[in-house]
Structure formats: structure tokens, C-alpha cells
Structure 1
């Protein structure tokens, strides 16, 4: 195992002295330095025109940004483009959220709480910026009528490669007035997904040079969202007065308890980013794979919910590369190349959530070994309650249930064991995705889908030596974990002292 002492220890000391006030001040000054948004040269390759026209119709009375994935005001290319378009045409800007489409976005109380607390921050920011913020008791069908009734000239959408958001986009394309401009902006990726590659990439080494080549153009600063000069009402009876009103009619599918370690919203994201840079970045790539140590960024929930831009994280981490370049490079590889590889997979492969999304060789080897004898088999309920024979696996599940996350290295082991202990690879994918999407704060996103598909179907991986059940799929064993890491400490933290109590809780199904 690598030495735990960072090679750039002096740089780590300098980072530890970075205060929150200085950190936020530096970000604000960087935004101001980019200039006025109305005159900012927006890179239009970040957007795609979905409708037949991108011209605003005559007598338009407003612009709407339909927020669904990138839920923040600052550092959001979709907000910036929407405001620029509105200012150029001297129109009001409205940010709308469709709460009747929350099932696929926020399936549990844990997810819903994290999202709503973030929306409360957005509402306050919009009040300061004089931008309309509307929490609507509406779905995409209702939204079409709202657009028509208010003579909206353009609707800006978040890019999202997953099936349901693609359905929303296609519905709006087919049902909005043909004179309404419908525009999709990729504010989630640094290099827009459609430009990072024109096809599904095989693995990281094939997409890395394509992304790296384009970073000088796209890894840029953000201008600040300005106070909006043009005001106007959005007339509809679908408005909710308060964000919390959504609790009155929307009940999540599963009653999973909220987590307390992660404060939702942009402020929580900045605090976590700062603590990562101060305390953990110096160990990244050295001991960040060790489950018994907290040396990861912990930023995935905020990136998944859109409370912080991956591009902002990259800019801030890159700004200190002279202090610990090796660690910064390793982290940016994960944040940019690996994360955008997952986006690429879901963008180009509609079977990202089932065995048909695997490469032909991987699908064949899994099916060839489908009838192999399993020493252990468990039901979804047993998996959920951490009732397996493997204490390390149980500890990982208990971490998932309690904290809404699993250490990245453990998640690989955890998911591969689901394949080993289920009757079929199809069942393993289904259970792995259900557990991840139900309990993990960063579930229901491309990273989550690819994490499960990599573990079970070797997506973005290669074939290995053949064995029972796994075929040529990469295998992981418990004794290797014990040899590499202090698994006694990990299991003591999650699987012994509080594991038994938490394991019995599970989730309460929504009453039919």
C-alpha cells in the first residue's frame, strides 16, 4: 500500500489555511471578472435547439428556464443563457419547477428533503436577483398550457440523458407551439455530452483524449447572474406559495430517513468542497481508496442534485494544483473523464439499466454462466436488511442505509457480490440499481447506473480469467480487501455497534 504521507506536504499546509470567507470571496471575484452577462460571449455549442426555430415569436412576454437537473442559480449555463436571451429581448425571466414529475427524480423522502432544501436557497437567490421562481403543481402536459397562456417565447431545458427527462423533452418538442423556441443546455458536463464524443465510448482511455483536447475551450469561468431588469407575472393557478407545500400532495415512493451529515444546497456544497481542499485533497489517490478512511471528496450528492457545478469544483481544485499536482490530476480524472464517460454511456445507450446495455461478449459470458450453482442466494429484502453471511458486505449496506452513500471502492465489491449471490445477472442488476437508487443520495444518475453496470456487466472494462457465475467479468474477493485495508475498523463503524439496529429498519413501502 502507498505511503500515507503526501508528496506535497507543504502545499497541503497552505491549503489548510484557506478560510471560508476567502474561498467564497475568490469565487465571487472570479465571476465578476468574467464581465456582464448581457455582453458575455456565451459559447452556443453548449446548447442544442430542439425545436424547428430558435427565434422568439413576436409579442413574446417572457422566457422560461425549466429547472430539473442543475438546481442552482450561479455557475449554471442554462440560467446564464436564459437570462442573456431575456435581457437581449427585454423580457422577464421565469425559473419553473414541475413538482408532479418528482417520482423519477426524488423517489424517497431522503432525496426529496435534499432537493427541497436546495430549492429554498434558489428561491431566496431569485428574489434578490429579481428573477421569477415558480414551484408548480404541474406535469409536462400542464406546462404546455402555462407556456401558451403566458405567451412565452422560449423554453430552456436542462440536458439529462436519462429516459424520463428525454421523454419530457420529446413531449415538449411535439406539443409546444411551433413558434416557441425549445433549447437544451448542458450545464451538467464541462464538455457538452454531444461534443465530448459522437458515439458510445468503450472505456476511459478512448474518451480521455477527446475530452482533454476540448478542455481549453470549455473549462472556463462563469460570469455572475445579474439582477434582472425586466419584471412580469406568470399567470397560472398551479403555483405553490411555498416550497414546503409540495409535502401536502407529493408522497415519495419510499420512506427513507434523511441524512444529517450532508447539508443540502449550494452553501453545503461549498462547505464540503472547501473541507475537501483543506483536509482530504492531499490524500487523493494515496489513501482515497481505503474504506476505513474519509479521504474522498464527498461531493457526489451535491453534483447529482445540481447544487454545485462539476465545472466549479474543477476550477477550484485546479487552482491549487501547484500545491499538490499529483492529487489534483487524479481527482480531475475522476471528476471529469470518468464522470463524463458515464454521461456518454447513458446518452448513447438506452439500455443503460439492463443486461442488453452490456457489450456482446459480456452479455454472452453472463448468460453462459447463468445456470451455475450459487453457494449463497439472497432475496432483495435480505440484501436491503444486510442479512448476508459477509460482514464487510453488510457493513457497506449499512453505510448506504445510514449515510446515503457507500465508499467508492466498497461499492464495487458490494455490487459484484450481488451478482454472485442472486439467481441471475438480470436479477442482480435490478436489485443493485434498486438499492443504489433508493438509499444513495447520488442514485438515479448516470454515475449510479454505470457503477452497477461496470460491476455486473463489465461496462467500460475488459474480459478477465473465466470462473463460475462471473464468466469473464472482473471478480473481487474478501481476503483481498482485508489484505489491503483495515476492514476491521470499517466493519466496526457500520456493521457491529449500530448495524443490527439499523439493518432491521429497511424502508416503509408507500401505501397503495
Structure 2
């Protein structure tokens, strides 16, 4: 375990390993991958140290906030892929799809009781954060959560970064050291004890694995208590699909990213966030692939901190530098902020100046006020906003540039900032396949001033918060074909 960066390890209780345990349990919660995974690597190291087999446990609750058929199916596809890999490569993997609330936590407790210790994924928000804070105190074995989220470990920052500029300064100072200590490509290759784990009928009959129970199907999904109106997407939730999209982006869109990412008609964005959110692909491998496409004379020796400035740190191709800043700085600032901010999803987590100005303008008359249902159904007077909402409902995403306008208009069309926050979080977390993510909370709260500064002139409703309009958007980006494409559901 000496190769594991200690900053990534969160020891959640003070229990000693159970020498009578049958296996080391790796509970795969959010970084749902078998490659480039620090948590899986840590679990393998413990299994080798104790001379025990390893059990990889992956499950899906039917009782989580904002659950939809869309999210469920995406996760299920990845679980089915893991099932096939486990059968082919011969390691212990147990998949479980919950049919009734309470089955999943009961199964976990039974597996934990049989284990020497538990290793799982560290994640700073949503149900994973709550589980990792509460469950360890109920167990008799050690519980470790491992940060495999990004390049810069969340423990490396001492407090929540106030802005992307501040976090970028840390990133530039620490990037090379962190990047040169990557996760192993295939940690399971190091596993020494490959004995098969026998859970016994008391477990397997009460909680049958997903394949045996015939649950990897849309027919099974149709009978589960999730929002069935939010349909599965055409994209697949497998690592294979994520890698295919990665190759397509790197080969055809990466070098032009800086010039084309903001134009909805061009669609020059990576569109990798679904697989990043569910951990199907690792940020480490994406950064490595991108840097390998730098000019031949580029070297890591050229990496010099730029005092937080975006341009100049990575150098080389401008498209590569722009994308890496989005992937590392803007993605990871959300993880670090949430790690240090338990109320990351509350109005009170905004900067003081933003809270003050929005509260001061709370009574300002709105040009129009829409209900949540009208917004969800794209029933507004603004054709750009309606198109963005239809894309969200249809494809589970909004073009990156239009997402900013989408949020700003909701602030303008709701009675107050707290209502706007509630609506945006609900719309995003229900429809976006990459919702319920630190990065998506960064995007939503940026609308209200997080990671931004006070702007002038002071305006009605917005106060000192940055202002955006549909008219200015039409002038800045190419949007004609986008409006045609999303003119209707």
C-alpha cells in the first residue's frame, strides 16, 4: 500500500481488521470502473496483505432522490458489463438491483459482517457522502473511503476554493506531482488470493445477484418505482461506450476545442460527462491521452505555474490546454468546494456578496413568473431557453454555453433566488444524466455567484450577479441549426 497516495485515504472508523473475515469487501458506489481506480487498488492491496480474496460489490437502490428510468438504465448497463468481465476473468463480483427499499442496505450489512474490512469510494456530495459519514459507525470492521475522483486529492486543499482562479493556482503547483502518481491501469491483475467467495444460500436466495434474477432488462426496470417518464438515453452506460466517445473526441474535436466549444451548431464539446460522473472512465487516463497528443517537442518539463492564469501552463495545442483547464480546474474545483462545504447545495453556501445582493433584490418585479411545470415542459416565451430545456429532456444534457443562459433565465423568471435554486437543482438532477455531481452543482451555483465576482452595473433582480440575455447569446454564438433541431420535443 506504499504506492497509494495517503491524501486519498479516508479512515472512517478506528476498528481493526477482522482476522476471521472471509474476504475484503470493495463497495463500488460511484466510481464504477475496474481500471484506473485508486479505491479498487487499495482494496486489492489490503486483500494481499491479509491473504484474503476480494469481493467487488456493486448495487443499485430503488430509493434514492431524483431516481429515473434514465439514470437507472445507464447504471444497469455498466453493471451488466462488469458481470460479463467478472465471468470472463474469474474474480469475485456481486451485482444487486434492489426491488424494494431496504434490501440494498440490508445486503450490505450482511456482506460487511462477513468481511475483514470495507473499502469504498470517497465522494463529497449526495447519498455517497451521507453513507460514508454514517455507516462506518455502525460496523465492527474498518471502513475506508478512497478519493479516486480527480488529479488533485481533495485533502490537498485546506479550505473551499473561493474561485477557479484560486484553485487553478493550487492545481498548477501540484499537477505534475499528482499526475506522476497515477492509479494502476488494471489493479485486479495484482490480486494474489483468487479463491471464489461462497456467500451461502442465506444471502443468495434472499438477495439474488442481478443476472441470476434476470434483472438486467428494460422489462424489469419498467416495474421499479422510479420516474418512468424520464426515458433511457441512446448512449450506453458502459466503459466501452465511454472509451469509444473518448477516442472520437480526441481524434476529431480536441484540437479545435478552444475555437468551437461555445457554438451550439458546431457541437465541439467532449460530451464525456456521463461516463466521468459514474466513474466509468478516469480523469487520469483522459489527461494522459490528451497530453500524448501535444506536439512532439512538448515536455512535462515545460509545465510552469502561471499564478492561476489559464493560458500558458500546459502550452502546446491551444485546444488541448483549453480542454484540460475545463477537465481539471473547472471539474475539480467543484469537488474540492463540496468536500469543504457540507451545505454545498444550499443558498447559504454562496459568497456573502451574492447572498446580500440577491436578497436585496428579492422584491424586484419579475417580467414573468413561470411554474416548475411550465419550465420542465419548455413553455416559456424564449425560444433559446425552450430549445435548451428540450435538449435536456431529450438527451440528458444541455450544451455547455447555453447551460449558463438556461440558469440565468430561471433566476429572472422565479419569485426569488431560493426558488430558482430549487427549480434548477430539480430540473438538472432529474433530467441530466450527469446530475447529482459536484460539477453540476458548480454550474448551477455559478448562476448565483459561486466562483464569480460582483459585476456592475447593478441590475434589477440580479443585483451584482453576472447578467446574461438571449439577445447577447444570439450575437456571440452560432445557434441557428440548434434552434431548428430542438424546436420541439
Work out the CA distance in 2 between the residues paired with 1:157 and 1:269.
22
Matched, 1:272 2:245: yes
Q: Structure 1's 334 and 214: CA in aligned 2 closer, same or farther, altered over 3 A?
A: same
2:118 aligns with one of 115, 135, 155: 155
SS in 1 for 2:61: helix
Please give the secondary structure, in 2, of the residue aligned with 1:184: strand
Residue 163 of structure 1: CA displacement?
4.1
1:69-80 map, 5 Å: 69-80=30-41
* Partners of 1:140 and 1:171 within 8 A in 2: no
Q: Select the residue among 277, 280, 296 that pairs with 1:304.
A: 277
CA apart distance, 1:79: 1.1
**1:398 to 2:390 alignment:** yes
- CA apart distance, 1:162: 0.9
Q: Decide which of 228, 233, 237 is 1:259's aligned counterpart.
A: 233
* Aligned counterparts of 2:134 and 2:222: Cα–Cα separation in 1: 27
1:144 aligns with 2:109: yes
> Aligned partners of 1:248, 1:391: CA distance in 2, in Å?
33
Q: Please identify, of 299-308 and 126-135, the stretch whose mean Cα deviation from structure 2 is larger.
A: 126-135
- Between Structure 1 and Structure 2, how many residues are aligned? 450
Matching residue of 1:81: 42
Structure 1 residue 326 corresponds to structure 2 residue 318: yes
The structural deviation recorded for 1:42 is 2.9
Contact residue 10 and residue 122 of structure 2 kept, 8 A: no
1:369 corresponds in structure 2 to 361
Out of 168, 174, 187, the residue aligned to residue 214 of structure 1 is 174
Structure 2 runs not aligned, ≥5 long:
297-315
1:173-188 residue pairs with structure 2 within 5 A? 173-177=136-140, 180-188=141-149
Of 39, 60, 74, which residue of structure 1 is paired with 2:21?
60
TM-score, normalised on structure 2?
Answer: 0.88
Gaps in structure 1 of 5+ consecutive residues: 1-38, 503-512
Map of 2:484 onto structure 1: 492
What is the correspondence of 1:66-465 to structure 2 with a 5 Å cutoff? 66-100=27-61, 103-104=64-65, 107-136=67-96, 137=98, 138-148=103-113, 150=114, 152-177=115-140, 180-195=141-156, 197-220=157-180, 221=182, 222-227=184-189, 228=191, 229-235=194-200, 236=203, 237-242=206-211, 243-244=215-216, 247=221, 250-260=224-234, 262-322=235-295, 325-455=317-447, 457-465=448-456
CA separation of 1:101 and 1:206: change in aligned 2, threshold 3 A? farther
Q: Once the 2 structures are TM-superposed, how far is the Cα of residue 175 of structure 1 from its aligned partner?
A: 0.5
Deviations 1:435-466 (A, max 9, x none): 111111111111111111101x2100000111
Equivalent-residue separation in structure 1 for 2:239 and 2:61 (angstroms): 24
1:200 Cα deviation from its structure 2 partner: 0.7
3-state DSSP of counterpart to 1:491 = helix
Counterparts of 2:228 and 2:160 in 1: how far apart (Å)?
33
Q: Distance in 1 between matches of 2:463 and 2:435?
A: 27
User: Cα deviations across residues 64-83 of structure 1 (Å, max 9, x unaligned)?
Assistant: 11111001111111111111
| Range moving further from structure 2, 203-212 or 134-143 | 134-143
Q: Does the CA-based 8 Å contact 2:152-2:175 persist in structure 1?
A: yes
- Is the counterpart of residue 482 in structure 1 residue 474 in structure 2? yes
Normalising by structure 1, we get a TM-score of: 0.84
Q: For 1:79, what is the secondary structure of its paired residue? A: helix
What is the Cα deviation at residue 141 of structure 1?
A: 4.8
- Shifted more, 237-246 versus 484-493: the winner is 237-246
Distance 1:141 1:82, change over 3 A: same
Q: Distance in 2 between matches of 1:79 and 1:67?
A: 8
Whether the 8 Å contact between 1:40 and 1:223 is mirrored in structure 2 is no
> Once the 2 structures are TM-superposed, how far is the Cα of residue 147 of structure 1 from its aligned partner?
1.7
| Bigger mean CA offset, 429-438 vs 319-328 | 319-328
RMSD: 1.9
Does the CA-based 8 Å contact 2:255-2:317 persist in structure 1?
Answer: no
SS at match of 1:66: strand
Q: 2:11 aligns with which of 46, 49, 54?
A: 49
CA contact (8 A) 2:7 2:155 kept: no
1:301 and 1:223, CA in 2 relative to 1: closer, same or farther beyond 3 A?
closer
Contact 2:41 2:188 in 1 (8 A): no
| 1:356-384, Cα deviation, whole Å (9 max, x unpaired) | 11111101111111110111111111101
How far apart are 1:328 and its partner, in Å? 1.1
